[in-house]
Structure 1
């Protein structure tokens, strides 16, 4: 009986894994081309029953984690895996599970900051439920940025001037895309003027950069 349960679990896992290969590039394309439409898609899906949510796409948190996994796969193919020098960094970078978890958390910082900023500006009480909707939207919007930025860092670490220039160009373009998407999302969500929206966007991006830089500094220092 337990063996049959195990087989059914493996069957579900295999099916879910195969659907990722179909729905990940499809969802990625939809987010890149229609970011505002995908944010509205989250609104619609969260009103559905739990079993029916995101039936034709990948759920936003999982999509962000898969984006980090894809970028890590590129890193492995290029033989540019990051290694730690200190005890803490060796612990984090020493195995695949902790490395992927660490990177997922660092990229999830941006959706969390954006969601908290939105709720504070709208004077909405901060609860798990009130955070869920903006956080899910932001996971979708952050995933392409995570793939592009992580992949660009791989090219920056490759030897040669050309690869470094390509990496820098991709990182700048990805940051610009993310900034524009963030500004558009905040403009609609906050219903404020464009100067106010730009200031909010700069605040969110800079705070995310500072927090991630601080985390990186702590890892390198230990």
Structure 2
């Protein structure tokens, strides 16, 4: 009986894994080209029954984690793994599961910061339920940025001026895309003026970057 349960679990895992190969690039394309439509898609899907949610795509948190995994795959193919200098950083960077979890959390900081800012500005109490919808939307919008930024950092570490230039260009384009998408999302969500929206966008992006940089500095020095 236990063996049959194990086989069924493996069957479900294999099927889910195969669907990722189909739905990840499809979802990535839809988010890049139609970010506002995908944000509305999250709102629609969360109203469905749990087993039917995101049936034709990948759920937002999983999509963000897969984006980090894809970028890590590029890093492995180009043999550009980050090596820690301290005991704590070596324990994280030297373990694949810990590294992927760490990077997923660092990129999830931007959705969390933006969601928290939105709820505070709208004077909505912070609960698990009130955080879920905007956080899921933000996970979708952050995933392309995570793939592009992580890949650009890999190219920057490669030897040669061309790869460095390419890495910087990809990173800048990713940051510009993310800033524009965030501004558009906050404009609709907050219903404020463009000046107010731009200030909110700068605040959440800078705060998210500052938190990540602080964590990185502490980690690398530990």
| TM-score, with length taken from structure 2 | 1.00
Instruction: Say whether residues 1:185 and 2:185 are aligned partners.
Output: yes
Supply the distance in 2 between the matched residues of 1:102 and 1:143 (Cα, whole angstroms). Answer: 15
Q: What is the match of residue 50 of structure 1?
A: 50
Q: Map Cα deviations across residues 80-116 of structure 1 (whole Å, 9 max, x no partner).
A: 0111010010011011000000000000000000000
Supply the distance in 2 between the matched residues of 1:52 and 1:220 (Cα, whole angstroms). Answer: 42
Q: CA RMSD in A?
A: 0.3
Q: What is the match of residue 130 of structure 1?
A: 130
Q: What is the match of residue 92 of structure 1?
A: 92
Instruction: Say whether residues 1:24 and 2:24 are aligned partners.
Output: yes
In the TM superposition, what is the alpha-carbon distance from 1:213 to its structure 2 partner?
Answer: 0.3
| TM-score, with length taken from structure 1 | 1.00
| 1:1-222 alignment, distance < 5 Å | 1-222=1-222
Q: Map Cα deviations across residues 38-82 of structure 1 (whole Å, 9 max, x no partner).
A: 000000000000000000000000000000000000000000011
**Count of residue correspondences:** 222
In the TM superposition, what is the alpha-carbon distance from 1:217 to its structure 2 partner?
Answer: 0.3
Q: Map Cα deviations across residues 12-55 of structure 1 (whole Å, 9 max, x no partner).
A: 00000000000000000000000000000000000000000000
Supply the distance in 1 between the matched residues of 2:92 and 2:106 (Cα, whole angstroms). Answer: 13
Unaligned runs of 5+ in 2: none
The alignment partner of 1:124 has SS state of coil
Unaligned runs of 5+ in 1: none
The alignment partner of 2:104 has SS state of helix
Supply the distance in 2 between the matched residues of 1:161 and 1:142 (Cα, whole angstroms). Answer: 28
